[in-house]
Structure 1
Amino acid sequence: MDRFDTITAFIAVVDHKGFAPAARSLGVSASLVTRLVAALEERLGVRLLQRTTRSVGLTDAGARFLERARRIVADLEEAERVAENEQSAPRGRLSLSAPLMFGRMHIGPLIGRYMNAHPRLSVELSLSDRFVDLVEEGFDLALRIGHLSDSALVARKMGATRRVVVGSPAYLETRHKPTTPADLERHRLISCTSLTPAGRWRFWSGGERFDVDAAPAYVTNSAEAAIWHAENNGGLTIAAGYQIIELVRAGRLAVVLADYEPAPLPIHFVYPSARLLSAKVRSLIDLAARECDWTFVDF
């Protein structure tokens, strides 16, 4: 077994306080981590970890080895970064996940420009509104919209987007324009289940969230279908700012209940912390930072 892999597995077990969490952080199976640590102990001829049914701790020899092991890994990672930075053209395969509509509108065009600039690179772009586990599913990078909860990921903020209620001007002319969420009971509602539960619409006031019972006339899991229906005088729907900003600017949709919106949601690129930030990932993020305006707040 590779010496570096065995040392990396040992450090991960110590840092994550167990074989299973270490395996998740590394994107491998727990059995492989167990074998790697066992191989390291066998090669050194000393037990590094004290295992019980409830916990994993360092032996005295393990504590002494850990300090040196961290330096070894840090030195090797730095050497790899230096060598990688000397590689002028990103190459290989980049796997990326993004929300469906954001990916179609913004990530797809970005990838096109990126691949034109780096013809030796291949890309797999997966678009889905479901939550994607980067480690389990083997993605290098993901675009996330909303507040992050996974502390195991490294994030770089790329922008922000509002979450708004919109309807067509023609529809709003025929109905009493809502001034509070309670007014929605007099409106035709269009629910996109990828943004909000069909029977409950969420609003904020004074920093506190509250829910309003909703009886939608139209329910869909497609943001594009919900927005199209609203644009064509079908009623009110909740949408992300990036989805409707151009329609609002063109006068085809109008925002209502702006005083009850949440704070703008951050937009991040995220990648697994256990992996080095490769040239292909770093160069894509840098390209997006230079060329893309992903702040969908002022409209």
Structure 2
Amino acid sequence: MTSLNIAKTLSSVTPIVLTIAGSDSGGGAGIQADIKAISATGGYACSVITALTAQNTQGVSGIYPISSEFVEQQLDAVFSDLNIVAVKIGMLSDVDIINSVAKKIRQYSPQSIVVDPVMVTRNGDLLLQASAIESLKSQLFPLADVITPNLPEAAALLNVAIPQNEAQMMTIVDQLRLLGAKSVLLKGGFLKEDINSTDLLILSDDVQRLSTPRIKTRNTHGTGCSLSSAIASYLAQGHQLTDAVRLAKHYITQALNYADVMTIGQGHGPVNHFFSLNREN
């Protein structure tokens, strides 16, 4: 086979992943983190931006929303041309954008959908109004193969107290199943006192426990964005959900493990998406 034929064969099977999220000017989270994670795990990333943020490793100083009409225009542009297999959905700033994204997802019917419900700041403040949270639950969750809330987000979705340990995580499993997604990855990263970082993959008839040693680093910015994007990337490559989640969990653990190789900013720096390039041969 000639090099040209090889190139054509590879291009025909390129797993294309769309990320729908906000932009992080600091490059650590949001669209920027998504593109890095998708690329590092073997996918081709395209994007639809839902909001612009003035942001760095120390926090967010401003948010500039994108109109729902322009979000739809971006969605039509990428879906009409690219063979998008999987979609990762992150920050959606208001009801109109949530409804627009849901409408276009139903129109174009991509194979796999991962929803990371970005709802709560590091300080515990809600990013979405109650009406937007209800739209997220009614319009997008039923379309999702998996949603990936952390503990504060799960608590906000269910209007319950934030779980403080793994046993309390188990008590909300049945409630999370009722949110309408095919599965839920409940992330336990906020349980800082645990020596392990344990997530629960909640399926319709099973709960799988995914636990790895907790990595001690302050460079954790973009962890959730990167994990959900990696799941979408592995789904686009043909992995079944449970395998895609396990591969993504391994990827983000390594990205955290190598995060201190980099010195980015004065606050919570990003994870090291391309850690394999920093390994010693």
Query: Structure 1 length as normaliser, TM-score?
Result: 0.22
Find the structure with the greater CA-based Rg. Answer: 1
Query: Structure 2 length as normaliser, TM-score?
Result: 0.23
Q: Relative to total residues, which structure has the larger strand share, 1 or 2?
A: 1
